[in-house]
Structure 1
Amino acid sequence: MPGLFITFEGGDGSGKSTQSALLTEWLESLGRTVVLSREPGGTDLGLELREIVLHRRGHIAPRAEALIYAADRAHNIATRVRPALERGDIVVQDRYLDSSVAYQGAGRVLGGAEVRELSLWATEGLLPDLTILLDLHEGQDRLADRTRYDRLEAAGDDFHARVREAYLELAAAEPQRFLVLDARDSIENIAARIRSRVQPLLG
């Protein structure tokens, strides 16, 4: 496809939203058309699924949780992301299949390979051109002043340690796709390194 698909990954509080917005602003200043999305919640259906999977009171079975994320992903890719890429637009997205591998595969201990295959089936095999991993071991510290945690943010230290380890393993396995950055660095330095990596991809 003629477009460019860039995803942001990382633990909660690592700065994904900030860097997604800064990258979008820079790309638009170059005259590029950017579609900014997120998972879950990048579509109207996704917003409903987001509320269920992150804020529903009561237990959700881990496999059901993984399937809800996959349903959101399938709809988002089919109705929003793939059409944008076919138009030649740039899609900048907060979270994608690597989140499911890390959070459901490792965090919920469902198995990363199985969860990845589920996402690849849901998206017809679409992988990002670039995945930016904002690595922050102390990610929960940035959430300390929040009065309301969602279901994943409240999962506990062991859960988030497994998530971080899974992210780093994914990045090590696909170094050509991943850019790993220390989220404790300044916002300006991180943004500059992202721009340097993205620039050659613009053609």
Structure 2
Amino acid sequence: MDKEAKKRIFIAINLGERTKKALVDLEKEIQDSLPLEAEGMIKWVSGKNLHLTLVFLGEVAQGKISEIIQAVKGALSGEKNFFLKCRKISYGPPRKMPPRLIWLELEKSNELWRLVEKIKTKLAEREIRGKDGGEHSFLAHITLARLRSWQWRKINPEERPEVGREVNLSFPVKSVEIMESHLKRSGAEYSLVSSIPLEETLEEKEK
């Protein structure tokens, strides 16, 4: 008997086109400031793939997808739209040497933290758990680039290209998406499984 098909699933906030364009412009700005020898060590995330991961689930049986959708719907019940503010671009993860990513850190948000905890709780009720490294490990960020670590190790830390900069940008969160990741030789590609909207605020309803 064949094993049930599995999909590589994560729960995320997808970004609007205006936000994606602003981040692609930031990527280009950093690229233009880097020395030529750094070019082959960095793989930039394309605009269409920019997102904020809330929970990474990994390989999930096809039959569990509907349960995940219901869990996220339950977590979002009563939750309203909100804004997230960007903080700065840096190497990540923190204290990881050599770094693996160039990412955009977000300001702390009670709304986002509550949302993530509610999603994890609703998933756990269905015995579905993320692969994100623990209960308190969530660090809100948007990955802008991945570094080829084996090449990066050759660079003296004092000579590492500077990427840090403050970012004055905010964006609305109007929905949460369940996404499938397809791993290909050219890099990961993502497809939408389901989008669950947050409730509109009173001000938005009146517009």
Could you say whether these structures have the same fold, taking a TM-score greater than 0.5 normalized by the shorter chain as the test?
A: no
More helix by share: 1
TM-score (norm 2): 0.31
| Bigger Rg, structure 1 or 2 | 2
